[in-house]
Structure 1
Amino acid sequence: MTCSDPPTILVADADTSLRRFLTAQLTADGCRVFDAELAVQARARAVAHDVDVLVLGELEDPAAALALLRDLRAGDGLHGQMDPGLPVLVLSADPGGLALLRAFEAGADDWLAKPVSYVELRCRLRAVLWRSNAAMNVRSRRRVGELELDTTGREVRLRGERMELSTKEFALLQTLMTEPSRVFTKDELLREVWGFRSPGRTRTLDSPACRLRSKLGTHGDRFIVNVWGVGYRLADTPRVAMGEAA
């Protein structure tokens, strides 16, 4: 593993000596490192520091690390939650036992037996990060017809021309492009994009949606379709969006 583009690593383990050792070695290699002793600390620091990989060992009790891993994979990464795609390297004192099996079933990406060999840890971290980056590059681009959205670069292009969108307009389009054929209700969009817990009656969504439709419709296209009384969806064929309200 090289740290020319330093990854941010979270080391979560109840063993203070192990945490200090790994933190010192990874820091010496140029990485940004945070550590956590408890599951609640690991959750908070994973979100606060936008970590690239989690090294997960034994926490305050045998079930804590497994519960943290399951919570991680079950989340959506929104509103202060951990990124469900965060790569996780498990440190196991029982590499041939049920604990390792349960960790992989819960969503671990790789494992390393204790006592930890730092050289092997570096190799496995490099492999986990490479796989994660490769998968992220695939997931980061979404395309609907001639409309392309790049989540990593936070860029939208229509027929190769870069579109200037506000933060909310970008987030709204990104949500719609996750499932282009589905109608998203207004309540769903208010929760996903604005973080409203109980949207109720509000016109918060209407203005950004209208501006987004206008920006994408400069050539007569109708990418954003308003399904009357329900919400919004993307048009599969933007120039022909029949049967639904404009």
Structure 2
Amino acid sequence: MSVGIGVAVPSVLLVEDDAATRAFLSENLSADRFAPVVATSAEEAIEILGRARPDVAVVDVGLPGMSGLELVSRIRDGAAEAEWDTGMPILLISGEASPHAAVRGIGRGADDYVPKPFHYPEVLARLGSLVRRSRGATLCEEIRVGTLVVDRHARRATLGGRVLDLSAKEFSLLAALARDPSRVLTKAELLRDVWGYRAAARTRTVDSHASRLRRKLADAGGGERLVVNVWGVGYRLLPEEV
């Protein structure tokens, strides 16, 4: 069974001083086909910008020394000693959730704003939207696994040319499994990536959604065994022998 993914891997400058948040975002953005370049301060971010050309930036407002807001202003103003794209998309994240904080960030030149605590799927969706707008292209437009086609941009899936009637979470679960169809995704990973859980939780929601998704794929007449339960671990899209 052939697997093909229409992917343009965008680089993301991740400016975050909190080690746990930085590691969480870097690991998960890498898994979602971004190429993170990390900085722990605004000063380090400026040094990186002088030698690299990231497609998009994620900037924490509460940085030590120069603040995230000041960094956004510096990016927009440019620098005589270094060239970078002053129009690069910027997503701000901040522990301040007030509307005034968002207005300040946008006023400094940020393109979007997410308050903490954030749900990772929201950050991923907003980054994808910023990259698509800046490139005029679709990020991860199609994932093909045999006769299964998952269009993440249109949020549409077909099997053998037949459109699948999926709920929002069923589609997100299918898209997560289709990204690496032979790899087992643990329930903890799926709860994080699809439902936005930041910590492990005792819930049957993954199993119930996977069961409904498997049934709908079977009803579509694909004749293939899809969405396989690996007992005690999680799920994969394709059986092991494929």
Identify which of 72, 75, 79 aligns with 1:72: 75
* Offset at residue 61 of structure 1 (A): 3.6
Match of residue 51 from structure 2? 48
* Offset at residue 107 of structure 1 (A): 0.4
The residue correspondences of 1:194-205 to structure 2 (distance < 5 A) are none
> Deviations 1:120-174 (Å, cap 9, x if unpaired)?
1111011111111239xxxxxxxxxxxxxxxxxxxxxxxxxxxxxxxxxxxxxxx
CA distance in 2, matches of 1:58, 1:69: 9
Aligned residue pairs total 133
CA distance in 2, matches of 1:25, 1:127: 17
For the aligned residues, what is the CA RMSD?
Answer: 2.3
CA distance in 2, matches of 1:120, 1:99: 18
Match of residue 15 from structure 1? 18
Please tell me whether residue 122 in structure 1 is matched to residue 145 in structure 2.
no
Identify which of 71, 86, 89 aligns with 2:88: 86
CA distance in 2, matches of 1:93, 1:55: 14
| 1:37 and 1:59 in contact (8 A); partners too | no
Using the size of structure 2 for normalisation, the TM-score is 0.50
The residue correspondences of 1:57-68 to structure 2 (distance < 5 A) are 57-61=60-64, 64-68=67-71
Which residue identity is paired with 2:88? L
* Offset at residue 34 of structure 1 (A): 1.0
CA distance in 1, matches of 2:14, 2:135: 20
Structure 1: 5+ residue stretches without partners: 136-246
| 2:61 and 2:69 in contact (8 A); partners too | no
The residue correspondences of 1:36-185 to structure 2 (distance < 5 A) are 36-61=39-64, 64-75=67-78, 79-134=81-136
Match of residue 142 from structure 2? none
**Helix, strand or coil at the partner of 1:122:** helix
Using the size of structure 1 for normalisation, the TM-score is 0.50
* Offset at residue 81 of structure 1 (A): 3.4
| 2:41 and 2:65 in contact (8 A); partners too | no
Match of residue 140 from structure 2? none
**Helix, strand or coil at the partner of 1:48:** coil
Give me the identity figure in percent: 29
| 1:3 and 1:30 in contact (8 A); partners too | no
Q: Label 1:99 to 1:62 Cα distance change in 2 as closer, same or farther (>3 A).
A: farther
| 2:42 and 2:66 in contact (8 A); partners too | no
CA distance in 2, matches of 1:49, 1:97: 33
Which residue identity is paired with 1:64? S
* Offset at residue 97 of structure 1 (A): 4.4
* Offset at residue 82 of structure 1 (A): 3.0
Identify which of 30, 35, 48 aligns with 1:32: 35
**Helix, strand or coil at the partner of 1:25:** helix
CA distance in 2, matches of 1:62, 1:115: 22
Match of residue 238 from structure 1? none
| 1:14 and 1:58 in contact (8 A); partners too | no
Match of residue 235 from structure 1? none
> Deviations 1:99-136 (Å, cap 9, x if unpaired)?
3221110101011121121111111011111111239x
CA distance in 2, matches of 1:54, 1:24: 16
Match of residue 162 from structure 2? none
**Helix, strand or coil at the partner of 2:91:** strand
CA distance in 2, matches of 1:92, 1:60: 10
Higher relative contact order (CA 8 A, sep 6+): 2
* Offset at residue 72 of structure 1 (A): 1.1
* Offset at residue 46 of structure 1 (A): 2.6
* Offset at residue 62 of structure 1 (A): 7.8
Structure 2: 5+ residue stretches without partners: 138-242
